[in-house]
Homo-oligomer: A and B are copies of this chain.
């Protein structure tokens, strides 16, 4: 078994309203960043796991996203898996 680090990015689908992102955009503009056109807020999750191969790790992370990390009704996700030599 080898150690892997997965970086998972979860975003709201483009059609879903994002009050948190709107609040961040308003805050940035009121701080003087008037060039901000829009903000979308999502989640960034790092998962450390062991697996027999990088391909197996990708399959397991995909299952974790479907079951817990993302809500497939309103969110999309993407991820990268990298080797972690030494765990």
A63 to B47, CA, bound (A): 29
Is A82's beta carbon under 8 Å from chain B? no
Given A24-B68, A28-B64, are A46 and B39 also a contact pair (CB < 8 Å)?
Answer: yes
Find out whether the CB atom of A42 lies under 8 angstroms from the CB atom of B35. no
Q: Which residues of B contact A10 (CB under 8 A)?
A: 44
Q: Which residues of B contact A40 (CB under 8 A)?
A: 45-46
SS of A interface (majority): strand
A19, chain B: closest CB distance, angstroms: 14
A31 to B50, CA, bound (A): 16
Could you list 15 A-B pairs, sorted by A, with CB under 8 Å?
A9-B44, A10-B44, A11-B46, A27-B68, A28-B64, A33-B64, A35-B49, A35-B50, A35-B51, A35-B60, A38-B47, A38-B48, A40-B46, A41-B44, A43-B44
